[in-house]
A = this chain, B = another copy of it.
Amino acid sequence: MAISPLAMKRFRDHLATQGLKLTSQRKAIAEVFFAGDKHLSLLEILDQSKSIQRGIGYATVYRTMRLLTEGGLATEHKFGENQARYEPAIDGEHHDHLICLDCGIIVEFEDDEVEKMQEKHAAANGFAVVSHKHEVYVKCVPGRCRRPGGVRL
């Protein structure tokens, strides 16, 4: 659970260049977000932030995560829930997700081949790719569940 000093610096810089302020709330939220488990929901971030800075409100978490998302430091996902989840974004990197319906675990994977095929299909139809969402919903192979009983989705 070590905080990423790099990410925090990027956040600081982003705020500075926009003329925005680094408040204790934003700091707490960023610490939770950059240090914690990936793919947290707003409520989970709020909850964990409160143990650093009590009294933080949902709206502040919401607005801070929007700030991070717009600044390219966070990516928002909706994994078949009606709730958003956030993960730290690393500049040019991109990956897709395996989401386990049994245990809720989310595993990332990269695949250049898939990206190439997307380009191909887009071009064939007169389009240029802007972004994509590629989520593979899976179930554990019997006996190989990493989190028995830990259902989330």
Q: Would you call the interface of chain A mostly helix, strand, loop, or mixed?
A: strand
Q: Is A107 an interface residue (CB 8 A)?
A: yes
Stoichiometry (number of copies): 2
Interface size, A (range)? 20 to 34
Q: Is the CB of A134 within 8 A of B137?
A: no
A138-B128 in contact (CB<8A): yes
Q: Are A117 and B118 also in contact (CB < 8 A) when A101-B130, A132-B135 are? A: no
Tell me whether A138 and B133 are in contact in the complex, defined as CB-CB below 8 angstroms, given that A114-B114, A117-B111 are known contacts.
Answer: no
A70 beta carbon closer than 8 Å to chain B:
no
CB of A10 closer than 8 Å to a CB of B: no
Task: Flag whether A121 is at the interface (Cβ < 8 A).
Answer: yes
Q: In this assembly, does A9 line the interface, its C-beta being within 8 Å of a C-beta of chain B?
A: no
* Complex A-B, nearest 5 residue pairs according to Cβ-Cβ distance, in ascending order: A127-B138, A126-B144, A132-B136, A133-B135, A109-B121
